[in-house]
Amino acid sequence: MGAGKSTVGAEAARLLGRPFVDLDGELESETGSRVHQLFAERGEAEFRELEEELAVEALADPALAVVALGGGAVTSERIRESLAERALTVWLQVDLDEAWRRAAGPERPLARDEAGFRALYAERAPLYEEAADAQAGDLDDVVLAAAGVHVESGALGRLGELVPGDGPVALVTDPRVAGIHGADAQVALGDRLASVHELPPGEAAKTIAACEALWQELRLDRYGTIVALGGGCTTDAAGFAAAAYLRGVAWVPVPTTLVGQVDAAIGGKTGLNLPAGKNLVGAFHWPVRTVVDPALLATLPGDERGAGLAEVVKTGLLAGEELWELPEPEQVRRCAAFKAAVCLRDPLDDPVRGERAILNLGHTFAHALEAAAGYEGLRHGHAVALGLLAALRLSGLDTSAVEETLAPKPARVDPERAWEALRRDKKAEGGRIRLVLLERLGEPRWPAELPEAEVRSALDGIIAS
C-alpha cells in the first residue's frame, strides 16, 4: 500500500503502449463499492476471493497489458502461480515511512494504525520477494524491467546469475576488452562458460567475414547463450551471429562503452555493414537480458566517452530533458529507459506505424559521413554529433546543446561520396530521403521530407571544406 502502483502502472502502460488494468479499480467497478466499503460490508475473506478471481482473469488475458495489483494480492497462492506462469512481475519499492504517510487514512482498511501497517509489510515482504522477477524504484526501472535491461554498478561480477537459464555460455569480446574485463567475466560465468571468442576491434567486427569466423568456432547447442562483452560493434555483430546460428540462440549483451550502454545494446537490433552502407545486413533478435554495468565506464578513454555522450544528447533532445547534465550512472539509466520504452512500443521498427525511427535523429547524416570515410578515422559518436547539428539546423532549433556539450568539428570526407551514401540510407523510400527532425525539444517529427537542396546544404555544412 502506498507504493504508487496505480500511478506508476498507468504511466508505464502509456510508455509501453499497452492497456492499463488497476485491479482495485476493477474491483470497485465490478461491485459498485469502494475497497474500504467492500471490507466493511463483506469482510476481508470475501474481498480476497473477489480479488483473486479478477486478478487471475486479468493475467489470463492473452493481450499484453500492465496490471497493478493490490498490496495483498500476492497472499493468494493462486495469484502467485498465475504471476509465475503469465507475467513479468515487478516489485515497486518504497520507503516504509513514506508508504505509511501515503496510505494512512480511513479509506485504507489495513492502514489505520502504524504498528499494524508495519507488521503487515513484514509479513508480506517475503511473498513480494518470491513473486518478483525484478525490483523497481521508479517508472524508469519498471520500463527497464519490461525490456529485460538490468542496470547495476558491479553487475559484471554477478554475470553468472544474471544470464538467464542454465545452459552453456559462449563469451564473445574483442582483444582490448578481453584484456580489461575478460577475466572478471569468465570468473563470474563460472562453470557455465563453454568457450571464449574474439571479434576484431571496432567496425571490423561488423563484417560478414568476421561473423562467419565466429560461426565456425561456435559449438553451442540450442540451449546455449552467447554473451557479448564489448562496445556497440561487438554487440551488433555478436547479436547477429546469435540470431542466425542454429536459426537463433539466446544472447546477452554486456556493453562496456557509453554508446553501448545508452543505445547500441538495447532494443534487439543486430547488424553488419556492407561497403555500400552501415547496418545494411541485420536482424531483430531481442536479448534474453541486457546487463548494463556503469562501473565498466571507469576504464573508458576520454574520446570513447565523448562518442557515447553524443547518444546521450540525442536521447535528451528526443525526451526534452537535459539528460547530458546528469551524473554518468544516471545518464545511463535514464537514456536506457527512454530507448527501451520506444523499442517496446515498436519492437520491429514498423516502417508505417512505428515510432522507433525517431531514434535515428542525426543518424541519417552520421551514417553517410561514416560510409564516406570508409568506416575509418571517423568515430561514430563524432559523426552522430555532426548529424545532430545538421538535424537541429534543419529543424530551425538552437544548436547550443550540441555545440557546447559535444563541440564537433566538421568531418574531412568526400562530399559527393557522403551525399550518395545519404541517398542510399535504409530509411529512404522510393528514392526520397526521410529524416527525423524536431518540432521542438521533446517532440520529434517523422518522416520529414525536405527539398534535396536543403538536405544537401545541411550535409555540406558539417563537412570540412
* 164 neighbors 289 (Cβ within 8 angstroms): yes
Angle formed at CA 440 by CA 438 and CA 445, multiple of 5 degrees:
30
Give, as one character, the DSSP assignment of residue 429: B
Give, as one character, the DSSP assignment of residue 411: B
d(CA 261, CA 144): 12
- What global pTM score does this model have? 0.93
Task: Please give the share of the chain, as a percent, with pLDDT higher than 70.
Answer: 100
Task: Please give the share of the chain, as a percent, with pLDDT higher than 90.
Answer: 85
Alpha helix locations (H) across 109-231?
114-131, 139-146, 159-162, 175-177, 183-189, 208-217
What domains sit in the chain, N to C, each tagged with a CATH number? 5-146 (3.40.50.300), 155-300 (3.40.50.1970), 301-465 (1.20.1090.10)
Average pLDDT of span 43-68: 94
Burial call 413-433: b when 16+ CB within 10 Å, e when fewer: bebeebbebbebbebeeeeeb
Residue 325 reports pLDDT greater than 90: yes
C-alpha cell at 86: 503469465
Residue 431 reports pLDDT greater than 80: no
d(CA 143, CA 290): 13
What is the structure's pLDDT at 255?
98
Q: What are phi and psi of 440, to 5 degrees?
A: -160, 175
What is the structure's pLDDT at 107?
78
Residue 353 reports pLDDT greater than 80: no
Kindly indicate the confidence band of residue 427, based on its pLDDT and cuts at 50, 70 and 90. Answer: confident
